Amino acid sequence: MADSPATAPDAAPRTPITLADCEICSRLSDYESAFEKYADPSATRSWPPEGDRLAPVPEGPGAPTNHGFRRCPVCGMFYAWDYTYEYLANGSEDEWTLTRLTPGEARKFLSDAEYAARIARQQAEAASPEARNRHYAAQCLTVDGVLRASAEPASGFLRSGDEALRKGALAAARRIVDHDAYHAGLTPLAPALRELLDAKDAADASMARYVLRWSKPG
């Protein structure tokens, strides 16, 4: 097992690979899910095959069996993995989800040096010609800023005319409130979020409203 890169605890690659260039992560959305309902195969939503190429992150004894983390063996990206089972008389339901994480959300698995290197790389990726890389960079840098209770760079992303940066920052803020409502680090983003309430893009306005509802007033 020790020889297998798929199960090595430190599966980080030596050469940085961007999201768009990773043969696994480029084929996975920020959020993936699979669903099975017993006695109703038509309701099945299948798991992306790349999801099975991610390596479980060892968490030691006592770790929950319905929640854990996965890591990409190619680029070192972290994902949260969750499983839910619901017993229903007309056919029980199983659901699996995979959520791509930023370095800040996977902080406990990264050394200070590795975290700093990943954030520095994402600062460069925020100007990438690939929209996907900018979208992910905005998520990474927004979470990093929120952890430091800093208004920037997320406020700049939220005010950006670049949809990839704006929607990346909104997606990250949304994940933070879903995970940790009233996180104090979101308060500095309130002015930029309020400006989006009247946005022409209805999805942006509704996401900003949602994040503000679950943020402390700023």
Which residues form the interface with Zn ion (CB under 5 A)? Answer: 22, 24-25, 72, 74-75, 77
Least distance (Å) from Zn ion to the CB of residue 13? 9
Residue 44 corresponds to which tokens in the numbers above? Answer: 């099945």
- In the bound state with Zn ion, the residue whose beta carbon lies nearer, of 77 and 176, is 77
Phi/psi for 35 (5° steps) reads -145, 135
CA–CA dist 126, 121 (Å, integer) = 9
- In the bound state with Zn ion, the residue whose beta carbon lies nearer, of 19 and 189, is 19
SS3 per residue for 120-134: HHHHHHCCCCCHHHH
- In the bound state with Zn ion, the residue whose beta carbon lies nearer, of 74 and 143, is 74
CA–CA dist 182, 215 (Å, integer) = 4
Least distance (Å) from Zn ion to the CB of residue 52? 13
**Closest of 35, 41, 137, 49 to residue 82, by C-alpha:** 35
- In the bound state with Zn ion, the residue whose beta carbon lies nearer, of 74 and 193, is 74
- In the bound state with Zn ion, the residue whose beta carbon lies nearer, of 77 and 171, is 77
Least distance (Å) from Zn ion to the CB of residue 14? 14
Helix then strand then coil, % of the chain, to nearest 5: 45, 15, 40
The secondary structure element, H or E, covering residue 140 is helix 131-147
CA–CA dist 178, 208 (Å, integer) = 13
- In the bound state with Zn ion, the residue whose beta carbon lies nearer, of 72 and 193, is 72
Least distance (Å) from Zn ion to the CB of residue 55? 11
Buried b (16+ CB within 10 A) or exposed e, 30-56: bebebebbeeeeeeeeebeebbebbbe
Least distance (Å) from Zn ion to the CB of residue 28? 8
Least distance (Å) from Zn ion to the CB of residue 94? 26
